[in-house]
Structure 1
Amino acid sequence: MAPISVTIEREHPSIGIITLVGEHDAYSAGRIANEIEVLLDTGLPVVIDLTEATFVDSQTLSTLLSARHQAHAANLGFTLVLPDDRFTQVHRILRMTGLASWFATYPSMTEARDAARAGHTSGGRLKVA
């Protein structure tokens, strides 16, 4: 199973960061959903770091979209980190599905953290071409 790490930054306000590394498919989607649910249930905004993710399948994408909706309903930020200095499969799937605009996606962790703390769940600065 591809690595997933969860970090909670205690700076005010606290924030949960989930880092995905490698390939993520139906086998890891459940664990990702559980980790996100714990953070949202605790009232923490969430940042998903996709910097080192090389593949996400439709189940993983569905998990992220569902979590984004949950965060929005709870008035909590939910952002993605996806650097725009290289075009990856993750960029490609967001573009092909038309979901790029549904997520608040930023090229740096600093921007994503700030946006999540501000309650953002959509928008961002993703370049998909």
Structure 2
Amino acid sequence: MEFDVHLLRQDRCAVVRVRGEIDVLSRERFEEAMMEALEAGGPMVVDMREVTFCDSTGLNAIVTANRRALARGTAMALVALPPRIRRVFRITAVDEFIPIYDTLREAVSALPSTTSS
């Protein structure tokens, strides 16, 4: 599956919708989309329901984006991780500091609507 990423605005947050493989070849586009979402302000949700693979560069991009979100005083969450990818996030303990939700609705309702000052 070819990599694709879209930035959408939904309810109270920016949604980065990802499809395909997040790897060394797609990492830059993935990071750019997440940074654009953070620059728009407010919380960010990364929708990974159509992600088929995520290597260490993708994992690192997500961790870096979370650090940047925290530095900006905003929240980040992941949603709809396929089981194999969710397992990697559990093994690496990323799920202990980045919230993961089953649905976009759950993620949006759990995130604050404004950035903190």
Please confirm whether the aligned pair reaches a TM-score higher than 0.5, indicating the same fold.
yes
> Are positions 1:115 and 2:83 aligned together?
no
The Cα shift of 1:110 comes to 0.5
CA contact (8 A) 2:16 2:37 kept: no
Q: Secondary structure at the match of 1:44?
A: coil
Rounded Cα–Cα distance in structure 2 between residues aligned with 1:116 and 1:71: 13
The percentage of aligned residue pairs carrying the same residue is 25
Match of 2:68 in 1: 70
CA contact (8 A) 2:5 2:33 kept: no
CA contact (8 A) 1:77 1:118 kept: no
Q: Which protein has greater RCO, CA pairs closer than 8 Å, 6+ apart?
A: 2
Q: Normalising by structure 2, report the TM-score.
A: 0.85
Gap runs ≥5 in structure 1? 120-129
The Cα shift of 1:118 comes to 4.8
Q: Normalising by structure 1, report the TM-score.
A: 0.78
Match of 1:4 in 2: 5
Q: How many residue pairs end up in the alignment?
A: 113
Which contiguous aligned blocks of 4+ residues in structure 1 show a shift greater than 2 angstroms?
115-119
Gap runs ≥5 in structure 2? none
Compute the RMSD of aligned alpha carbons: 1.8
Match of 1:125 in 2: none
Give the AA of the match of 2:63: L
CA contact (8 A) 1:77 1:115 kept: no
